Structure 1
């Protein structure tokens, strides 16, 4: 039996920060407390934060089919670098995991290539864009942990209603990319003053909120657990708040970039600021923060979306791919701007980035440090200031607007099942 003792750190346990030690035996947490017996290896965590591995329910690993953008290996190493030990991989790969055989192949590949725990989404419809529903039961049996067409909104209400009925029957989560294509009008960023200043076509924010309104009514009718991906508008937040008060089974996530940036922060026509949903107005950003603080927004998820340099040639959003990387910058940016900035406590941030996503998505082995649970642990350095540097990224994608920021809260060590998967 191999044993490790993480000593002298501040440990996030049962929702509280406690000065204590953690003893690991093989792949599990054996004990948490003071005066624990010596171990084969002692890890000094003095002045460091010891937390459950972060949980990100929204990443894009691009393999198979687009490995020039990212691979499962690179994406999972990037996740570990950011302190994540459990991730949910979206189904916009090629082939799409839309049949039991494809789902089985995808989950096997994730297991073989990944260094963190990877849970795989199944598609809602065949090819992720058609109106033909997948075999929800078959995909669940083959390893799907939830269903999503992320990257595309389900355009027809009838299709969404039937999908919700089928997914509710399986007691699974439907994670929706909410976007009504008929309301985009060719826009490539949020419609408004900044789009006009940059001379770029704008898409109105109702393209999101109109579909949220539709889906909340359908979710209420079907009883499905409806989860909204990367919520970004004040109207969406208000509707989710109301729906929760009416007993609708709805949860939602916000991404770090929508919490940290508004469209007015876009410095120029720069494709590193092009994402979907786009950066919204400042009052939308404030509504997201209020939603997090009052429990309307349940969690933070990165929407880690790596692209090649050619697809993100910086000088023009037109024709550039949507999305930014997030796995390696999410926790340090949120800690620096929100915790050190006085917006929230460290405990709240850890709940949003670890405990809540694990609990809501039924990932019972993740999100908590407890004896008997897998030793999925991250040690963060909260006191040393570092610069987010492209050369340090482990993702194949470097399309990130936060590069160059001075941050605190970088990961020193990440363990998955007691094994080191990232070390500074």
Structure 2
């Protein structure tokens, strides 16, 4: 069974090609439009090439840089002194891999089908490794010398798949799934990535109001595996996400890559014990601020009934009426208050008043009377939606 099942971390569903066929241009890129010189190919053919790829084994090194336009979290974490923390393992992947949402990181990756994957996050002389081998998932933080272990559910992939996309392939999958008639997909020449010849697939919204300027995916010309993923914002500056292999080998990694034995003296935390510790060690936010959040959560209790979707494609906005006033940030801890203020812009309109919490990719408008508008759209688009919904 495992031999016939493709590793979804590295395979784009064949259905993507069929969906995109009706919406993308079929004009081939000129072979001379980039380096190296490759045969002409249409966007349709390139997507079919990605869909037909069956890359299940590889090893390599890649860099991922993320810039959401957020202020530093460092002062917030130190100022709150662990508010809401549970004293869990520093090796827990659900916490450790959140580091990838900001800054620049170097990772080593290895894969041998759906049953064996390894990802190592390098940070100077320290390393964090996440290994999925059959029924076991191991994580090791060399800095704290802590080990996290849990059993993988039958047929499930490593926890890394449930957290954030990390390889260019995973990032490409997410974008290609969203392709539709609101999207322009073309071939934008060729490139050399990690010593491999590649075509550049360029994806752009046809609509105005999206925060996404373009997505570029460098696709291996020989086997159809995405080698680099770049997501650019309409705000310009550094890409929101720039992830690409600097070295890649498609040969099967040695079996020893996926074996793990806890170092002598290391603290080993089991997944179930970690969850129990988090629940028992939870700290409380100040009463009034927590009360405000509690009222907001009540509104989320009817999430399925209260959620409305406005627009389509890249300018889709989700609207939720919580039925409760927004929590007052001036009742939050001083450090958290400053952080929230740095994220938000006060706005007014016919809808009333509210705050837009912004990043370079996803923005959210929280009105003072408890309505939420969120999407990968500009601040003006959110305000317009709120005005129209008044």
Per the shorter chain, which TM-score range?
A: under 0.3
Please give the TM-score of this superposition, normalised by the length of structure 1: 0.22
Q: Which structure dedicates a bigger proportion of its chain to helix? A: 1
Please give the TM-score of this superposition, normalised by the length of structure 2: 0.24
Q: Of the two, which has the highest radius of gyration?
A: 2
